[in-house]
Structure 1
């Protein structure tokens, strides 16, 4: 089903559902932003100055999920919600939009992008839903006279690893993709050789970027989330390095590299030892 075939009809009545009253949070933010007696720090903030906090809070949500820490997840989701309320409050003060506008907009968007639930269409699986979702997004951009490229809408502010994956997925939908992993692997070796042969610092940076892009492409072909994979590798390195330090204490920095390598292998071995019955 194409985006043009999606029925344009009024939003359906939604079923009753438990509601969460965020009024107290809105009232707190309004008080904090009150020029008469509000918080000096909150009053000084702009969209740009608090934007990094939204990213930070989103990552803390992901961290809590990764640790399966539901207490922390509840707390971090609250921090993330605060960022939405903060931005909406500043927009309201400037006459741009209100928090209600934000809620109305996402509700309308969710209904429009789920025609298989809220309209007389069907979807035979998650992949069909994803294809329809992207088609609807493309139609929305075209309707607003926005960038019509297949790569349109992939935010520049995304982490580079995630943006690389999204760009590749968009390009693949147009048929611009390796048919199998062999081509991707060959490309990785090609990029490694170009890194080795790079002479200037600018060339090295460019070629390392191409190598990372190619590795993300391989992860995509293997159905591996590169962000999760690298996060796991980071955690593994952190765990093993700390284990090495714990083995020898303060003497670790002064050990020769050969001894440090032996400690690393011991740390790896300890991780894979079977547990006692």
Structure 2
């Protein structure tokens, strides 16, 4: 990691790379999203692909850390220390004396500790689901936060039949589909991504961009 940080500092130096020197936290946002998405894709592509894509994600962490280091706001050591402290704090059943019965209780404790870290202050649902998530993933989280029951195939058909031919109607059908996917234990976002990837791979090659 130190070698990666040193490389980024060299790229950001006055005599470094013009493109790297121009980047900011804001300009790097699409790259962080893109690299995270490619890492998700690589999970099904094998260990070599996953290792390579995780390296690209780590590059983004280093990039933001060096930019912040230059501004004097934080550095990589702060990032690393923060996540280690958080993991220890939120796993008292491993690093403390708390007893848990199963994974479900671990999640319950995790949420309680998160709330305590905020001083017990409630958070808006809109703040709990990242806006940059894919639309299907956001709807999945919204349904969970709302305590919505998981749907069935028939509800998708019913929604399709009564939904208006409009953007709102399409959204209602998609939301019903997400609920159906939840009932099957399927991640709708991942399922559609894999389906789309398979379709793209089946298309003929083209010289066009």
Residue aligning to 2:161:
193
Within-5 A mapping of 1:124-273: 124-143=101-120, 145=121, 147-149=122-124, 152-172=127-147, 177-178=148-149, 181-182=151-152, 185-186=154-155, 188-195=156-163, 197-198=164-165, 204-238=166-200, 242=203
Matched-pair contact (CA < 8 Å) for 2:24–2:67 = yes
Q: Hey, what's the Cα distance between the residues in 1 that align with 2:117 and 2:161?
A: 43
Deviations 1:169-204 (A, max 9, x none): 2222xxxx22x645x743x33431343x33xxxxx1
Matched-pair contact (CA < 8 Å) for 1:57–1:80 = yes
Consecutive aligned runs of 4 or more in structure 1 exceeding 3 Å deviation:
149-152, 235-239
1:77 to 54, 57, 82: 54
2:7 equivalent to 1:28: yes
Q: Hey, what's the Cα distance between the residues in 1 that align with 2:105 and 2:114?
A: 14
Unaligned 5+ segments in structure 1 are: 1-21, 199-203, 247-277
Within-5 A mapping of 1:9-28: 22-28=1-7
Unaligned 5+ segments in structure 2 are: none
- Secondary structure, in 3 states, of the residue corresponding to 1:83? helix
Q: Hey, what's the Cα distance between the residues in 2 that align with 1:51 and 1:125?
A: 37
Matched-pair contact (CA < 8 Å) for 1:151–1:171 = no
Q: Hey, what's the Cα distance between the residues in 2 that align with 1:150 and 1:238?
A: 35
Q: Hey, what's the Cα distance between the residues in 1 that align with 2:194 and 2:51?
A: 23
TM superposition shift of 1:238: 4.1
TM superposition shift of 1:233: 2.4
Q: Hey, what's the Cα distance between the residues in 2 that align with 1:194 and 1:91?
A: 52
Between Structure 1 and Structure 2, how many residues are aligned?
205
Q: Hey, what's the Cα distance between the residues in 2 that align with 1:217 and 1:93?
A: 46
Residue aligning to 1:55:
33
Q: Hey, what's the Cα distance between the residues in 2 that align with 1:236 and 1:33?
A: 39
The TM-score with structure 1 as length reference comes to 0.67
2:72 equivalent to 1:95: yes
- Alignment RMSD (CA, Å): 2.3
The TM-score with structure 2 as length reference comes to 0.87
Which of these two proteins has the greater Rg computed from alpha carbons? 1
